[in-house]
Amino acid sequence: MRTEDLTAVILLGGRGTRIQGLYPDRPKALVPVAGKAILQWQIEWLLDAGISRVHLAAGHMSDKLEEWLKTGPVPDADITIATEPEPMGTGGALKWNLPHVGRSPFLAVNGDSLAPELDFTYMLDAHNSTDDAEVTMAVAEIRSADRYGTVEFDDVGRITAFREKEPREHGWINAGVYLMNTSVLDDIEDGKCVSLENEVFPELSRTGTLFAHRTDGRLLDMGTEDGLKAMEEYLTK
């Protein structure tokens, strides 16, 4: 399987409460960053890796997303969209959007972050060559990791623990990009609100089927005002 065969699902169901006060008239995905919506940056990032099939798992203000898509912002991408009937969490949203996923594995991406130097081909090769891997999570190294929970993993990349936010000089954090086998979603009840981060991933860690893929370079996260500013500075350069 090549990156060109992947479908990327961008998770856009959240309300973006930490940044909504700055842009109350639009969903977080359409917040402008260096002259473009963050969603456009994400889709172009995926296209650069050869990933052209993109599905938007929408929720809050999805009508604004549909209007934006009519403008043809990224003509080279094959973009579909579906709106969850009620908030389902990241895991529940993926289960509800499963008919749009296609082949296994697929790519799931959080809707508020970019890892510009992530090598999707290398990540896919690592996932496919690890027999036990149900999910491969991109992780990024960060200094002064006290603002984030961190991920711990062994020498082969098997994730062994998630640590809560506490003062650390450095650590590895979830970069919000996941290669997932569709079988991961089998046990999620239809219509149930389920969190990947708080429910699905800890269970996969216990069974030894969740792996980390280290990416060099920065993780850009526009979920806060400071994060938005840092992302804009990086993309402007």
Sorted by sequence, the CB contacts under 8 Å of residue 10 that are 6+ apart come out as 29, 39, 42, 43, 54, 55, 56, 57, 109, 110, 111
What count of other Cβ atoms lies within 10 Å of the Cβ of residue 232? 17
Q: Are 41 and 136 in contact (CB under 8 A)?
A: no
Q: Are 236 and 127 in contact (CB under 8 A)?
A: no
- In this structure, the dihedral spanned by the alpha carbons of residues 26, 29, 9 and 181, taken in order and rounded to 10 degrees, is -120
Euclidean distance between CA atoms 100 and 55, whole angstroms = 7
Catalytic residue among 28, 70, 165, 237: 165
The answer to whether 165 is a known catalytic residue is: yes
Active-site residue list: 165
